[in-house]
Amino acid sequence: MKDWTPIRERYLRDSLPVRLGGLAANLSRINSFAAHEASCEVVESLIAESKFFIEWTAREAQIDAAAELVDMQVQLARWQRNWAGIWADPARRNDVAKQSSAWSKRVLDLSGLVPAIES
């Protein structure tokens, strides 16, 4: 089992917006790597890391943002639990990619690191 302590210590040194930006980047990586069949273990690792990022961040977020993050964490745990079946099915893997991309955009929005673009 991986020792998450050094990663946690490093992650918590950053401000909340930067941590949310890191989570958004991880979610974007899930989207990107899901397109490559040989990346199963990489995506699985990113899912695990993203769950920890949420755990270490949600308690400091505003209540509505924290609730959204926890909902994401629950879905990540569901994916993790059914990972072999999801990865074997291209349609389900594509669903994971799409959802991760949408979450990445939402978490980046929550971070406030990128100003909203008005349409």
- The pTM assigned to this predicted structure is 0.91
Within a domain: 89? yes
**Domains contained in the chain, number:** 1
CB distance 19 to 7 below 8 Å: no
Within a domain: 62? yes
Q: Which domain holds residue 47?
A: 40-112
Q: What stretches in the chain show pLDDT beneath 50?
A: 119
pLDDT at 1: 76
CB distance 100 to 31 below 8 Å: yes
